[in-house]
Structure 1
Amino acid sequence: MALQTSGRRILLGLVSQSCHHVRGKFHKQALTNAGVQKKRMDLFSKEAERQAALVTDVEKIEVQYQGQPEDCTLIMNKNISTPYNCAQHITQMIMDRSVLAEVDGQVWDMHRPLEDNCSLRFLHFKQSDPYYANKAFWRSASVMLGAVLESTFKDNIYVELCSYPSPNVRTGSFVYDVDLKIPTWTPTKEELRTLSGEMVKLAMAGHRFQRLEVDASLALKMFEDNHYKTLQIPHIAAQSSTGNTVVLYQIGNFLEISRGPMIANTNFLGKVSVMAVHPIQTNQGQLFRIQGVALPKGIMLNHFTYGILEKRAAELNSGRIPVINKDDLQPTKAAEALST
């Protein structure tokens, strides 16, 4: 197995390029990570365009902003304008530091359109109680790790992302559980540094976390090449407010299923380290739990203190192990298992 890096290959093990190992059986490799990503993005782009075309009349709404430098009323466009657009009318500082919005008391993505007259506040990492900002940061770091894993390996390794536990800062690490279709992997320090470097590149790319709610049937078509997601999607959709929709997030060429919310932009990720790969056993076989630790941009720690966080992040995260068996996966558990 090999990771893709700038002009070089890092060998992770001996894996045939023509087949991969899945639960004790070999079958011919037919899918590539890049090909599957392209198919998903094509479907996502078409659906985003279709939904945008549904907004034919521009209706004005009143947004009651509460915060620095002063409270004010903004006249915005219903189902078009986002909290980020509102921030553009206030100050550069609000634009730059706002991680999330709070709309009528509900935590809201910065790039999610506003649906009616509302009150608006902005959340950031340095406020007195950054609970929601921190939780979104941890969740978003897991999604970014998934994006890196899906795009970094050479095409002889088909990466099937499973899920990650509900974000919990107290566990000391962000996580993604993934099926690499190999029996073992003990990464070298260089390999972990490569993954960390790819996380930094993704952060520096400054991709927005773009939210889109889609019908479950379309989500199933998008993720038909990932059997973990196809098991999870019907149960997630059943728990939605409509009973049949799934929320997707796009960053660059990567799509994830999650209830969110996410941070506004990948560039809110500051110092980051991918620290460990742990094999975990599920009711359908082995996955790898890949773990890291990160700080929000602008939050500084000295080398010694950050080293303590890295050491803790290398320990096996105690978050919930995915339940994969379709017969055992109840709707409430599915909602936890799939990228909460």
Structure 2
Amino acid sequence: MWDKLMAEYKAEIAAKEPSPIKITLPDGKQFDAEAWRTTPIQIAEKISRGLADTTVIAKVNGEVWDLDRPFEKDSTLHLLKFDDDEAKQVFWHSSAHVLGEAMERYCGGHLCYGPPIQEGFYYDMWHDNCTISPDDFPKLDQIVKCAVKDKQPFERLEMTKEDLLEMFKYNEFKVRIIKEKIHTPKTTVYRCGPLIDLCRGPHVRHTGKIKALQITKSSSSYWEGKADAESLQRIYGISFPDPKQLKEWQKFQEEAAKRDHRKLGRDQELFFFNPLSPGCAFWYPKGAHIYNTLMNFMRKEYRKRGFTEVITPNMFNSKLWETSGHWQHYSEDMFRFEVEKEQFGLKPMNCPGHCLMYSHQPHTYNELPLRYADFGVLHRNEMSGALTGLTRVRRFQQDDAHIFCRRDQIGDEIRVGGFPYS
């Protein structure tokens, strides 16, 4: 099916009448090109072979664009290297496809989502009787290395919803995505080697660009993060275009592990966690001393900047959350309960409470700005699998503050924080 549709797509592109267009670089330099024929990689090669080799992805008219995808009209062109944040995301997204290929070949399960994340990528997979553990990583790594060595090209194809449902009918998770998430007549899929995946793209030119990839860890997850949905396996990885960068990253991870706050908290008897209250820290005396010292420092800094401290309730009737919009969009992440046949929720943030405080009595324009600081306890119903030390918890306090001011005072309030305003 892929070969047939790809042949039709190539014939469609070849039938398009090429027309002269201009490609403009960030420095204003222009290149003559042909619509539906000239590609970003060809422009990069005209500039220098080295640039073409180190470019990860193109940006055409502000949109990230495959290097081998033809221009369609007069365009601006940025050639992005790995040190660009958007290029990193593309590089790690492509790496996720390589990992997905390895997982599919190793286990034969159903791939779900495989996105780039802040540092690296992961792929979720469902399988009824195959569990991937760190003992399996070397075997997965061998499959990854073969895929990289083969320099499998990333091929882009636009398909109709009907064709997508036919192509992915073996994978109920992809079918759900197609039926529930895709609302356009056509969407894109990408192929690298034997893997064909539903994907917006774009991607690197071929798998050979991923010269260093390490599988880092595995965990469990749920389909679309819902605890009552299917349990999935999640495999994480990191990758770079140069093996030296991977070695530097590994060294950094070793040093970071020595300074992991979870390890330090345990070794220095600062805090601990208990499964009877997951995601809620217990502070030892030494930890409480540090905690309170930091709190007092922050209170002092707030006072310097004209903030007054307030204390607001921990729970509110759902009517407040409905007014603020949290109930419609965030209620699944709140701790909710019923009191006297009415729904309540523990506050996950202070904003609505501060608005109630402001509206409780009238204010004149001379009283503004009013600056509220609040160190109240917040609760968020984070998934148990997402809880991580003190960085992802269910109970916490934050240096939360809100400013109520006139429109003509907004600039001054923003500039106090050192931010430009115009």
Question: Take 2:32 and 2:181, find their aligned partners in 1: how far apart are those partners?
Answer: 35
Question: Take 1:159 and 1:176, find their aligned partners in 2: how far apart are those partners?
Answer: 12
Question: Take 1:181 and 1:310, find their aligned partners in 2: how far apart are those partners?
Answer: 34
The structural deviation recorded for 1:180 is 1.7
Question: Take 2:257 and 2:102, find their aligned partners in 1: how far apart are those partners?
Answer: 19
Residue type at the aligned position of 1:202: A
Number of the residue aligned with 2:93: 139
Number of the residue aligned with 1:288: 233
Deviations 1:278-316 (A, max 9, x none): 22244332211111222233652345325468999xxxx
Shift of the 226–44 alpha-carbon distance from structure 1 to 2, 3 Å rule, reads same
Question: Take 2:160 and 2:174, find their aligned partners in 1: how far apart are those partners?
Answer: 14
- After superposition, residues 206-225 of structure 1 pair within 5 angstroms as 206-225=151-170
Match of 1:108 among 57, 62, 65: 65
Question: Take 1:209 and 1:93, find their aligned partners in 2: how far apart are those partners?
Answer: 21
Residue type at the aligned position of 1:45: D
Shift of the 94–46 alpha-carbon distance from structure 1 to 2, 3 Å rule, reads same
8 Å contact kept, 1:204–1:267: yes
Q: Identical aligned pairs, as a percentage?
A: 22
Question: Take 2:230 and 2:73, find their aligned partners in 1: how far apart are those partners?
Answer: 47
Higher relative contact order (CA 8 A, sep 6+): 1
The structural deviation recorded for 1:87 is 2.5
Question: Take 2:3 and 2:48, find their aligned partners in 1: how far apart are those partners?
Answer: 31
Question: Take 1:272 and 1:90, find their aligned partners in 2: how far apart are those partners?
Answer: 29
4+ residue segments displaced more than 6 Å: 309-312
Question: Secondary structure of the equivalent of 2:236?
Answer: strand
Residues 1:168 and 2:117 aligned together: yes
Shift of the 308–197 alpha-carbon distance from structure 1 to 2, 3 Å rule, reads farther
Residue type at the aligned position of 1:147: E
The structural deviation recorded for 1:188 is 4.4
The structural deviation recorded for 1:65 is 3.9
Number of the residue aligned with 1:121: 78
Number of the residue aligned with 1:37: none
Structure 2 unpaired stretches of 5+: 261-422
Residues 1:304 and 2:251 aligned together: yes
8 Å contact kept, 2:134–2:218: no
Number of the residue aligned with 2:382: none
Number of the residue aligned with 1:71: 29
The structural deviation recorded for 1:106 is 1.6
Number of the residue aligned with 2:126: 179
Question: Take 2:74 and 2:203, find their aligned partners in 1: how far apart are those partners?
Answer: 23
Question: Secondary structure of the equivalent of 1:163?
Answer: coil
8 Å contact kept, 2:82–2:91: no
8 Å contact kept, 1:133–1:263: no
Number of the residue aligned with 1:38: none
Match of 1:99 among 33, 39, 56: 56
Deviations 1:60-88 (A, max 9, x none): 232324168x9231222x22332123333
- Aligned pair count? 253
Residue type at the aligned position of 2:3: S
Number of the residue aligned with 2:3: 45
Shift of the 202–220 alpha-carbon distance from structure 1 to 2, 3 Å rule, reads same
Question: Secondary structure of the equivalent of 1:273?
Answer: strand
Question: Secondary structure of the equivalent of 2:202?
Answer: coil
Structure 1 unpaired stretches of 5+: 1-42, 313-340
- After superposition, residues 245-284 of structure 1 pair within 5 angstroms as 245-282=186-223, 283-284=228-229
Shift of the 192–50 alpha-carbon distance from structure 1 to 2, 3 Å rule, reads same
Residues 1:230 and 2:230 aligned together: no
Shift of the 266–46 alpha-carbon distance from structure 1 to 2, 3 Å rule, reads same
Shift of the 288–214 alpha-carbon distance from structure 1 to 2, 3 Å rule, reads same
Question: Secondary structure of the equivalent of 2:182?
Answer: helix
8 Å contact kept, 2:92–2:116: yes
Residue type at the aligned position of 2:50: M
Structure number, greater radius of gyration = 2
Number of the residue aligned with 1:332: none
Q: Normalized per residue, which structure has more helix?
A: 2
Residue type at the aligned position of 1:133: A
8 Å contact kept, 1:273–1:310: no
Question: Secondary structure of the equivalent of 2:87?
Answer: helix
8 Å contact kept, 1:79–1:113: yes
8 Å contact kept, 2:122–2:234: yes
8 Å contact kept, 1:293–1:309: no
8 Å contact kept, 1:111–1:264: yes
Deviations 1:86-124 (A, max 9, x none): 333332112211111111122111122211121222111
Question: Take 2:123 and 2:232, find their aligned partners in 1: how far apart are those partners?
Answer: 10
Question: Take 1:299 and 1:108, find their aligned partners in 2: how far apart are those partners?
Answer: 27
8 Å contact kept, 1:203–1:267: yes
Match of 1:192 among 132, 137, 151: 137
Question: Take 1:125 and 1:265, find their aligned partners in 2: how far apart are those partners?
Answer: 15
8 Å contact kept, 1:279–1:287: yes
8 Å contact kept, 1:111–1:209: no
